[in-house]
Amino acid sequence: MTFEEALQKLEKIKDELDSPEITLDKSLSLYEESVNYTKLCLDLLKQTEGKIVAVKSEIDKIIERPLDTDKE
């Protein structure tokens, strides 16, 4: 599941929880489901953060290399 899909599920759950007709049991069930989607979103964000850090590190290595001006 993608981050965007999980976020959509969370938004749907929020809308359901806002309903005045919702039962306590259904609220609890939706809450538990929302915790799982929240964990998934956080995991996906951490993975993405790791990828960004790795790419930035590679870019920093390229930028920090001195230019080889002896080759003409």
Instruction: Give mean pLDDT, residues 31-40.
Output: 98
Q: Per the structure block, which two tokens stand in for 62?
A: 């390229």
Of 72 and 70, the structure prediction assigns the larger pLDDT to 70
**pLDDT at residue 26, rounded to an integer:** 97
Q: What is the pLDDT of residues 39-58, one digit of tens each?
A: 999 999 999 999 999 999 88
**CB burial of residue 25 (10 Å; 0-12, 13-18, 19+):** exposed
Q: What is the pLDDT of residues 12-32, one digit of tens each?
A: 999 999 999 999 999 999 999
3-class DSSP state of 49 = helix
